[in-house]
Amino acid sequence: MLIARTTARETIRHETAAEPRLEPGHALVRIHHVTLCGTDLHIWEDDYPTELPIVQGHECSGIVEAIGPNGLCIQPGDRVAVSPMTYCGQCRPCRTGRPNVCSSIGCIGCYSDGALVEVLSVPVAKLCPVPQALPLDLAALGEPTSIAMQAVNRGRPEAGETAVVLGSGPIGLLATLYLTELGVNVVCADTEASRLELARRFGAAGTMLVTPGVGLPDAGQAALLDRLSGGDGPALVIEATGVASSFEAAVRLVASAGRIVQVGISPRIAMLSMKDIPFKELDIMGSRNSLNLIPQGLELLSRHPDLARTLVTHRFPFGELQQAFELMQGRSEPVGKIVIDLPAAAAPVLGPAAVAAGVPA
């Protein structure tokens, strides 16, 4: 089979390798699609706490090719997304029901070889069936959708209250969609007007265009928040950029007794007054990965496939993976989610009956 290996900084090498054998408790999945995120870019740039060389790819979908007996009613021919995280099950976070921050967490494509291969061996428990209404390429977005849903759930949203989502990239947009489904009034903020236009399609009741270097909110934005919240202010702010000034704005924006969820990640240092958090008695929470929410993420996407499609701005064949990373790095044009189509994506998709009968792809 073909694989793509990141061998050194900004270097992809396509290689051939033997297909994996079916192991007890595993399935063989023929990968059709992988989507790329910022973490993938950092790994490619060798700016991530993992060792090169590595086969990247942690957001993926494909077709089950072979599987042993299992209690999940999954069979060859089924369309699946893959949950990439692994947990020890023994550390304190795992014991207390929060394996998404396991002290020895693993992730295929980030800390071990991942899905930029034609066939991937996957523990059966990590297979997530794709709803019928969801195209297989969009199912690769189940993992980032689960991250957005985790951030929302951490914020304990309540129907009727007002939330601000800072950043209208894929995670911010998916959080907006989920919050809207939960009956929350959402205001989105971003530095790009085109992203805010998209945020309105994802359900935002209001938007705020941020001018870099200018404090948020200005008088007009403050009036918008006051109107939408009935004068109470936003009870919840989700910070989805990782920009330090954005987190600082979150503390200013959120109402007293409100909640802030930090899901954007960066090594930057935010500057805060030591009085703001206790004076407002704020709940400030981090959010990382998800509590196995990919199945729920796939259901959310299946209810809104047309919106999910708008997140995909580019797609590349497997052989042009290097060019996809260069596009992400160069920022010469707006980039949302990039879909990498593996060779199987060009073949007709067979149903379970055809696969079981041995019909060739």
As a whole number, mean pLDDT of residues 281-291 equals 98
CA distances from 300 to 13, 292, 294, 355 (A): 35, 14, 10, 28
Instruction: Please give the mean pLDDT across all residues of the chain.
Output: 94
Distance of CA 148 to the CA centre of its chain: 6
Is the domain defined by 147-286 classed in CATH 3.30.1360.40?
no
CA angle, 283 as apex, 238 and 244 as ends, to 5°? 50
In whole angstroms, give the CA distance from residue 232 to residue 254.
Answer: 10
pLDDT of 212 = 86
pLDDT above 70: residue 350: no
In whole angstroms, give the CA distance from residue 219 to residue 229.
Answer: 15
pLDDT, one tens digit per residue, over 88-127 is: 999 999 999 999 999 999 999 999 999 999 999 999 999 9
As a whole number, mean pLDDT of residues 188-213 equals 96
As a whole number, mean pLDDT of residues 278-296 equals 98
Domain ranges of the chain: 2-141+311-356, 147-286
pLDDT of 356 = 42
CATH number of this structure's domain 2-141+311-356: 3.90.180.10
Of 65-79, 126-140, 290-304, 337-351, the least confident: 337-351
As a whole number, mean pLDDT of residues 22-42 equals 96
**Residues whose CB falls within 8 Å of the CB of residue 187, separated by 6 or more in sequence, listed in order:** 162, 163, 164, 165, 204, 205, 206, 207, 208, 224, 225, 228, 234
Q: Do 35 and 61 form a contact (C-beta atoms < 8 A)?
A: no
Grouping H, G, I as helix, E, B as strand and the rest as coil, residue 247 is helix
pLDDT above 80: residue 251: yes
DSSP 108: B
pLDDT above 90: residue 185: yes
Of 70-74, 138-142, 284-288, the least confident: 70-74
pLDDT of 215 = 87
pLDDT above 60: residue 132: yes
